[in-house]
Amino acid sequence: MVLPIPLLGLLAGIFLGVSSAYVFPSGYSAYVAVAILACTDSVLGGIKSSLHGQFHLGIFLSGFLGNGLLAMVLVYFGDKLNIQLSLAAIVVFGSRFFQNFAEIRRFILNQREKKDKIHSEEQTENGC
C-alpha cells in the first residue's frame, strides 16, 4: 500500500517536532496550538481526498497554509480585542478534524469489508 502524500508529511512533521530541541516561547503557544490543529485538519482532509482518488497538491497546500494562517490571525485579533476568537477556530477545525478522521476510518473499514466479501465470493466460486 502506498502512503498518501499528506500522511507522509504528517509523519515527517511529527518526527521533526518531537526530535527538535526548539521550544516556542510561551507567548506564542496559543498561536502554535491553533495552527497545528488547523494544519492537522488539512492533512486529514488531504488523506481523505487521497483515499477517494481526488487529491490535488495545489488545493492541499493552499488549504494547509491558508488554514494555519487564518487560525493564527483569528487568535491574534482575538488577543488584540480581548475576545476568545481562538475558541471559534478550535470548534471549527476540531469538528472538521473528527469528521475527516471518521470518514477515513469508515473508508478503510469499508475497503476491508469489500475485500472480505470478494475473497469469500472467490472461495465459493472455486468450491473452497
**Residue among 108, 96, 110, 107 at smallest CA distance from 45:** 96
Taking only the tens place, the pLDDT of each residue in 58-78 is 999 999 999 999 999 999 999
Q: Which of the pair, 30 or 126, is modelled with greater confidence?
A: 30
- Alpha carbons 70 and 86: distance in angstroms, whole number: 11
For residue 54, the 8-state DSSP code is -
C-alpha to C-alpha distance for 14 and 17, rounded to whole angstroms: 5
pLDDT at 3: 61
The set of cell numbers assigned to 28 is 506564542
- Give percent above pLDDT 90 in the chain: 40
| Residues 48/7, Cβ–Cβ less than 8 Å | no
